[in-house]
Structure 1
């Protein structure tokens, strides 16, 4: 093990919270299931415990692949049904009817339409997509063919009535059989229901009887007292899976794909932002370390999207207040997911800022001015431009030329950094004027205003000097204060002195 190698489990345990949120489950459900599965594998003397560990931890790696289809088929609250569907035995008529009664809830007169779609369409296409994508993403993570195969078999059943191949009994990967029992145990334990009785009732049909027989409640009795995060890391079978630091981009890119699968409107968004941000950082001469952090933050900036229902992201009209509150929180959720990992903590702080604006009008924290690093300003500009060039439910994609006009207008209005916008546009292949290096995103006109302001000129005097209206001068002053993160003339003067702005 090289000194700077990273533990893959430490990264994936943190990122597994994204899977929990996408499944509308409580954070740490995946790592709890992983811990129970590893204990079961040890009790059963399974040789390949590494596959059990990763196949359970990443059990829901394909779950964003079908959220668009689920919302179309089952209604705007389809995502809320996932916890119920996950614990439902589809061979049990009573349990299946319980799910069916929830289809289309909240859709008003369209509810019957959603019920009809669900009954006529079946589930095979959705279930196959989940298995296929989970397997493909596991392969991208370099986890090996055994983990990829176990995830592909995720929805097989012991009695041979599952998906995608209809495998039965020991034909199903042992890691998949253990993961199912462990996952169901954690789910029913969290609901306060008798786990042993539930598993026993399902053995021989859904679940492997031998795995069920090896289970008892001692395997999860301590979960409320221990640090399950650390315990799961400590339980990873040896030898640990390690990656070189330069492979961190591969992990980040895999989870970018996971997030962007949530809606066809998002396909390629995170990777597109990362490409623009990385090239803009090069044009602005960020050092290699800052550039790498920015690139990874761009890939992972939208992890929190998965906690917001697909029906919100795909709403064709104006967002309702409740929808908007969920949207405003997604950068914060991205930060909290990433901050769980010591390796990803610098990325977390930056990713959380992708919707902030230098005049303080962004979200979720209304950070402004000098509090935003150059990397944060690049990320905001890249995210804005990339989104403008993609279709959204309420509008068609803007042409690159129109998108450039919009982000330049945002810079002129003091919301995006002008230099960073120009760098992003350069990265996108636009011909832009030569870059000027002005601190805090000040425009040349704002530098002129700042010099007068710092010397004590009033708004009226600034207006006369620059031959603009008093109202325009007032707007310039307000934008300058916002960009600098100050609220007094003296603070502005000090900033001007520190950055040598008293001479052209």
Structure 2
């Protein structure tokens, strides 16, 4: 990560994709909204500092959106995430617009659906949810160092021009102009997706003076959105950033990453502190496994679970065994994390690591089923730290493991050939456990003796030759060979040789 490349807007544009996923919206929706908002601010003749506030306040408009997913699941049912696109575009002052939401509330919950619908109609807990979104978004923006104007704009995200919004019931000019512009731009982008230019004009016109600032609406025309499907909005928004262009000192990158770690971990009370806990473990253990510069793996630890936000909270909080459809979503979250981070050249080294944090040495991990030969030491370290930290935290389906019990599980994973022994020793050591000797992990649960046999087999030795070299009976050698074939899932010498190569079994 070269210092010259540490541009704040590029970093935040990449991370804004996680906001789109959390809101179940198309990717780059936040960036598109930001571009339209900036164009509106320029058309209104606002000074550059206000344009810059509008830029960041719109790009990060949904920064507080993970804070309430737990409460939303209780209020609207396990499928609450599917309601977010609806809730973002309906005008709550128009009762007819709320009907599609009620049709979706509590779906799939059987007899319990009436309870969810009843809570939604009464609005039980809704005010606290809305307040939390505003409050957390504002606090996180402050953590990003964006200044009080952006924090204020995000706190006022759910205010309405007519004073019927939340949390303070501000009206008209009492609301930050950046917030008023962001709302019009966001609605324009949403309805451009849904119905095209005519739909945008109709909706904005109907909401002007109520939900939306009529002066901002009057400044809008379809020229502001007509090119969104033909330009590279990513490049366009970076080039359009109001000056002065803001950069991040190297010693502030971790603070930005940590803010998004908090954003992710707010997804569920069960996840609080997970990402930062993993980061502390890898940071302390990195040097002992030969990682001279732990910054990249620490940042990967802070950001490794960004893809979690794309998975409904009801899945993460399921108290019983996950269903097949749940697992399909869970298995994709490392890919989603990589997808978010790889959008930025600054974050590419981090993206490469987060993609691998659920892979295992024997190929039993996900989503790629990568094996030892494809897993660098930083990825192995991240995997161990992730497992240990998760075990020591409560989950819906189990209580937290005591530290010593968690350490035993990690050691069992090493013995089974799934986690790296040296990385496990390093992580457990910084966590306060005494781990004597050298831990060796072998793929597919192979024993040390079976690894010896596999090396000879791969080099073309017959069973009798293996028996002579290892000083065992031919029958024992044959048993070893058959067990090895069964464990690694091949049936030929060439297949065994390839397995050994891919898993680094010819190197110490």
The normalised TM-score by structure 2 is 0.91
- 1:11-62: CA deviation from partner (whole Å, max 9, x where unpaired): 1101101000000000000000000000000000112111000000000000
Counterpart mapping for 1:270-349 below 5 A: 270-288=275-293, 291-349=294-352
- Conserved 8 A contact 2:282-2:385: yes
> Which residue in 2 is equivalent to 1:4?
4
TM-superposed CA distance for 1:491, in Å, is 7.8
> Which residue in 1 is equivalent to 2:245?
240
| Structure 1 residue runs without a partner (length 5+) | none
CA RMSD of aligned residues (A): 2.7
The normalised TM-score by structure 1 is 0.91
Confirm or deny that 1:488 pairs with 2:496.
Answer: yes
Change (3 A) 1:492 1:129: closer
> Which residue in 2 is equivalent to 1:158?
161
Query: How far apart in 2 are the matches of 1:41 and 1:118?
Result: 36
TM-superposed CA distance for 1:109, in Å, is 1.1
> Which residue in 1 is equivalent to 2:68?
66
- Give aligned pairs, total: 494
Change (3 A) 1:464 1:201: same
> Which residue in 2 is equivalent to 1:268?
273
TM-superposed CA distance for 1:273, in Å, is 1.0
Change (3 A) 1:496 1:161: closer
> Which residue in 2 is equivalent to 1:75?
77
Match of 1:352 among 338, 351, 355: 355
Change (3 A) 1:493 1:188: closer
Which contiguous aligned blocks of 4+ residues in structure 1 show a shift greater than 4 angstroms?
A: 436-455, 465-482, 489-498
Query: How far apart in 1 are the matches of 2:370 and 2:137?
Result: 37
Query: How far apart in 2 are the matches of 1:323 and 1:493?
Result: 34
- Conserved 8 A contact 2:282-2:427: yes
TM-superposed CA distance for 1:82, in Å, is 0.5
> Which residue in 2 is equivalent to 1:464?
472
Change (3 A) 1:418 1:91: same
- Conserved 8 A contact 1:43-1:214: yes
TM-superposed CA distance for 1:108, in Å, is 1.5
- Conserved 8 A contact 1:5-1:243: no
> Which residue in 1 is equivalent to 2:141?
138
- Conserved 8 A contact 2:64-2:136: yes
> Which residue in 1 is equivalent to 2:57?
55
Match of 1:378 among 343, 358, 381: 381
> Which residue in 1 is equivalent to 2:43?
43
> Which residue in 1 is equivalent to 2:181?
178
Change (3 A) 1:465 1:355: farther
Query: How far apart in 2 are the matches of 1:98 and 1:496?
Result: 56
Confirm or deny that 1:434 pairs with 2:442.
Answer: no
What SS does the corresponding residue of 1:35 show, helix, strand or coil? helix
**330-339 vs 490-499, which deviates more?**
490-499
Query: How far apart in 2 are the matches of 1:398 and 1:107?
Result: 31
Query: How far apart in 2 are the matches of 1:424 and 1:474?
Result: 35
| Structure 2 residue runs without a partner (length 5+) | none
TM-superposed CA distance for 1:122, in Å, is 4.6
Query: How far apart in 2 are the matches of 1:417 and 1:475?
Result: 22
> Which residue in 2 is equivalent to 1:201?
206
- 1:277-302: CA deviation from partner (whole Å, max 9, x where unpaired): 122212213111xx211111111111
